[in-house]
Amino acid sequence: MTTGRRAEVSGAGFAGLTAATALAKRGWKVRVHERSPELRTEGAGIVLWGNSLRVLDKLGATHDLESRAMRSPAYETRMNNSIKSQEEMEGVRWISVTRPHLFRTLLTAAREAGVEVISGSEIAGATPEGVVTLADGDTIEADLVVGADGVNSAVRDSLDIPLKRERSRDGITRFLVPRRKADLQRLEPDTEWDNYIDFWNLEPRVLRVLYVPCNEDEVYIALMAPVDDAQGSRVPIDLDLWTASFPHLAPILEEAAELPGRYYGYQTTRVDHWTEGRVAIIGDAAHAMCPALAQGAGTAMQNAWTLAEAATAASDADLAQALIDWERLERPYTDRAQDRSQYYADTRQMAEGSQFQGDILETALYDPTDPKRHEVAV
């Protein structure tokens, strides 16, 4: 099974680093090209569920990750600051973590597995035969090319893979701020400030604050407003507007108002196919989704893992067919996560609470590391 085959990966995001580490652990020589001059991640916090945590277990990264992460006692949903539900989600694995910490953990795992990560190296495109062209014009031949270069993927676009992009009516700005727990407690002593709390206001105005503690010191907050609400989507945030709607969150809103940020309109990108000869695309390059189910990075890591498994099991001559089979088996799980996330973003239905049951948990409970996962139950 061990191969010494060479893989070139475009993009050192969560998808690229996971694929690279999984391949290296299976005997591949792996190089990751990151366009940015520095290795780091943008953004604030992230929620990971069982599907990606199983992959991190296999990469040997969970211990490091969980040393600075949090599992809230409950996922709470409020409307106009009154509690609609508190879901404890027994039996569901999930944690919240800062993006910088997840990134460092994955980069360490990649390096320990022998992956070479090169920053300031931009990929211009790839051919189905596995020839990668760098932005400076150099070419490299690879046995496998992984396009993990995000929503505007150069690898994907160089192969002319057709895609469709849909925008939703809402979007958000994200911040990582100090928790200010004592100040919050003074304002609302009865609130469990360790909970993940989704604060919705639909009337008199659509504004939402997602409150996600990531460890003892840091809380990730996401401020949602409609795309056509210029005041609500303004960055730096309009402190008067937000504190008028969420007075009990004033201490952390004040922290956010000091920070730069970027408003992201929710969007979904669907591509026609994920593979082309020796090239596979994963993560936002293949299936950028709305964040409602918090599964963009989760599905990226899930597909990175199963791609490494499928590519390793195939002989070099059968690689292209193995990638086609991989997409056929794995893609439906991601398609459903993408569809559901778009549905929840479009309908704002998460505001109703009591949501973590039935189908909505499918992705969170999926185990991409289980060799028997595709066997039909008898």
Distance of CA 126 to the CA centre of its chain: 24
Q: How far is the CB of 52 from ligand 5PR (least distance, A)?
A: 13
Q: Which residues contact 112 (CB under 8 A, 6 or more apart)?
A: 60
Q: Does 130 bind ligand FAD (CB under 6 A)?
A: no
Collapsing DSSP states into helix, strand and coil, what is residue 282? coil
Q: How far is the CB of 294 from ligand 5PR (least distance, A)?
A: 4
Q: Does 279 bind ligand FAD (CB under 6 A)?
A: no
258 backbone φψ class: left, alpha, beta (φ>0; ψ -120 to 50): alpha
Q: Does 14 bind ligand FAD (CB under 6 A)?
A: yes
Q: Does 263 bind ligand FAD (CB under 6 A)?
A: no
Q: Does 295 bind ligand FAD (CB under 6 A)?
A: yes
Q: Could you say which of ligand FAD, ligand 5PR, none residue 309 binds, taking C-beta under 5 to 8 angstroms by partner kind?
A: none
Q: How far is the CB of 315 from ligand FAD (least distance, A)?
A: 28
Starting at the edge strand found earlier in the chain, the sheet holding 218-226 runs: 82-87, 75-79, 196-201, 207-213, 218-226, 163-178, 263-271
Q: Could you say which of ligand 5PR, ligand FAD, none residue 300 binds, taking C-beta under 5 to 8 angstroms by partner kind?
A: ligand FAD
Q: Does 284 bind ligand FAD (CB under 6 A)?
A: yes
Residue selected from 16, 50, 130, 261 as contacting ligand FAD according to rule CB under 6 A: 16
Q: Which residues bind ligand 5PR (CB under 6 A)?
A: 47, 172, 174, 210, 222, 224, 291-292, 294
Q: How far is the CB of 375 from ligand FAD (least distance, A)?
A: 27
Residue selected from 50, 150, 213, 251 as contacting ligand FAD according to rule CB under 6 A: 150
What DSSP assignment string belongs to 294-358? S-HHHHHHHHHHHHHHHHHHS-GGGHHHHHHHHHHHHHHHHHHHHHHHHHHHHHTGGGG----SG
Q: Could you say which of ligand 5PR, ligand FAD, none residue 210 binds, taking C-beta under 5 to 8 angstroms by partner kind?
A: ligand 5PR
Q: Could you say which of ligand 5PR, ligand FAD, none residue 123 binds, taking C-beta under 5 to 8 angstroms by partner kind?
A: ligand FAD
Q: Which is nearer to ligand FAD, 45 or 353 (CB)?
A: 45
What DSSP assignment string belongs to 129-156? TSEEEETTS-EEE-SEEEE---TT-HHH
d(CA 26, CA 28): 6
Q: Does 12 bind ligand FAD (CB under 6 A)?
A: yes
Q: Which is nearer to ligand 5PR, 28 or 75 (CB)?
A: 75
Interface of this chain with ligand FAD, residues 154 to 173, rule: CB under 6 A: 154, 172
d(CA 222, CA 211): 7
Q: How far is the CB of 4 from ligand 5PR (least distance, A)?
A: 40
8 Å CB contact between 274 and 156: no
What are 139's strand-pairing partners? 133
Please give the residue ranges that form the binding site for ligand FAD (CB under 6 A).
10-16, 33-36, 46-47, 122-123, 148-150, 154, 172, 174, 264, 283-285, 291, 294-298, 300
